[in-house]
Structure 1
């Protein structure tokens, strides 16, 4: 029995599947997995050609579905909700495979946890660095007292820094894996569709207009209205940059274009296919695994009703409420965290002037204003939709 440890095997299941197939070809056939130690156990046998598939299902059964059995799939092992299957047929002839949706949902949840942890750790690091800088400036230097307990401080900050690195690595790795599993694109305007020469000519002819829009996703309806008003003025949307903050327009004729900003936690390839078949054009899709924002556009003629991405207004209202709750859950702990440190600074300060002189206090106030504004804006968006929905109902 051979043991192999792979700590981050679940971050890239496709790579793990290939690795298991390579091990089988060497005569090491996968037998079982210890989830807690991340250890794979292999039995030495005759070399075999096997195609492995990994699935995650909270309601997994000890028996594979008949459709998979008919296709030649067999169960290799199970570990908790993880299920490992293999097929001895060539991969080119296999038509049906275990579904991946469970892995995508599981990965997304892990990503949320790492996002929250990273924000929390970043807040602690920023708070400590800010307080250290403030004390240094206020006292005119530092007086380091030797103590064996300093090792605990170094260990604490090493753990925080390691947690940040692990969080960033995990988010990046899992995001890439999910994109490969669900078949979605990287989320921005394809490079081959950007004609740099024609853009240079448009700029020389002064027909190129660039606008910057930050945090527009917290007021989606206002963003839709802004884009449509630009079209009516003859400024036609040409493309959006990768991170969705810079909008490039060309001067042309006024157009009737309906814009819709949509949020999905984990859109599949079918989500984009359905809207494209309905005549909608994808102008921008964010590349974040945690939040997927898409700007859709659709032309319509005079006299036609303005196209709607969702025909049921109550569904759109519920969708907006879900968005508001999501961002509230994301940002409220950060706001509470910074308020806690501000109160701590106030208690340590002798006078209000001392408190205001600390650079950390200003940083915390700015952070509270930024994240607090995000929460207020997204709930204001929900309130506007609810008011419109009530007016239409009457």
Structure 2
């Protein structure tokens, strides 16, 4: 028997599956796993060529689907919502695989948490650096207040650095894993880059449009009526390139999909929609669609059911609220601590600076979440 400790196995499921297949090829067959302790136990046997796939979700506890069984899949191990499937066929010959949607949803939630931690730690580190820079530029003498518990201070600093490294490493691994997992659902390649048209062109930046996508759609449609034709979206989906041409009656739709199902792009393209942009980010899966509308015709809609789009807007609002709420709460606690310190101790410029930065951060992240709910409310009132 052989036991292997693999602490971040779930952040790189394709790598873990390839590792299990490689172990089987060397004669080490997975016998049991303890996912809480991150331990995998193998027994020695004959080398064999196997294909593994790890699934996650409530359905994993159910009997194996007939379509998977017909393709040669069998359950090897089960623990909680996790299930390890095994197949004796080479991966190139397998046409049906267990679903990845719940795994992608889980990875998205974990990414939200680590992104919040990363932003929080970076801003916490930035605030004293800005305060020191401001003090140094004004030639203000710097007074170091001795800490009564240096051991606790350095321990907290070391834990913060470790948490920062963990957050960065986890986000990198999750993003790479999601990119590979999503290949089973859709082609992630961006639309082909258009050539710059001849004539007058301009570029306009729209930051934070994903918090109010209906405002972006209306803005683009108004540009088209003025004769500014959108031909490219760049710089992370925030820079819009226009060329001067004829006025057009265009319909734009910004669509948010956590996991684009099979046939998602083909379905809309066959209906006459053109994909202008698809975000490459694992946290924000936005696709911008466009369609020209002939004269005297009703404007087309990407989703004809108003309830579907309302549910879609609600999902956007909940997703961004879950992303920003932890940071808002953490900054609120820090502001309370700073205000309490100012009331009890001597008022200093650095304390006022730190409190102001924290308060502005609360307003900024709160406005992001609030705008998504205003978008939901606008659709609800239509």
TM-score range, shorter chain: 0.7 to 0.9
Report if aligned partners of 2:116, 2:327 keep a CA contact under 8 Å in 1. no
| TM-score, normalised via structure 1 length | 0.84
Counterpart CA distance in 1 for 2:317 and 2:64 is 40
* Partner residue, 1:85: 85
SS at 1:17 equivalent: helix
Deviations 1:250-290 (CA, angstroms, capped at 9, x unpaired): 11111121011222233334333322222111112222222
Which residue matches 2:204? Answer: 211
Match of 1:290 in 2: 283
SS at match of 1:253: coil
Alignment of 1:1-394 (within 5 A): 1-61=1-61, 63-126=63-126, 140-143=141-144, 145=146, 149-183=149-183, 184-186=186-188, 188-190=190-192, 193-195=193-195, 199=196, 202=198, 205=199, 207-349=200-342, 354=348, 358-387=352-381, 389=382
In the alignment of these two chains, the number of paired residues is: 378
**Residues in 1 aligned to 2:295 and 2:216: alpha-carbon distance in whole angstroms:** 22
Distance 2:134 2:352 in 1: 5
> How far off is 1:352 after superposition?
11
- Distance (Å, rounded) in 2 between the aligned partners of 1:95 and 1:335: 45
Separation in structure 2 between the aligned mates of residue 383 and residue 81 of structure 1, nearest angstrom:
36
Determine if contact 1:266/1:289 at 8 Å carries over to the other structure: no
Deviation at 1:121, TM superposition (A): 3.6
The gaps in structure 1 that reach 5 residues or longer are 390-394
Q: Alpha-carbon deviation of 1:186?
A: 4.6
Structure 2: state its 5+ residue gaps.
none
Cα RMSD of the aligned pairs, angstroms, is 3.0
Q: 1:358 is paired with a residue of what secondary structure?
A: helix
Which residue does the alignment assign to 1:392?
none
C-alpha change, 1:317 and 1:156, in structure 2 (3 Å) is same
For the structure 1 residues 332 and 47, does the alpha-carbon distance in structure 2 shift closer, same or farther, using more than 3 Å as the test?
closer
What are the Cα deviations for residues 158-185 of structure 1, in whole angstroms up to 9, with x where unaligned? 2112212211221222122222222245
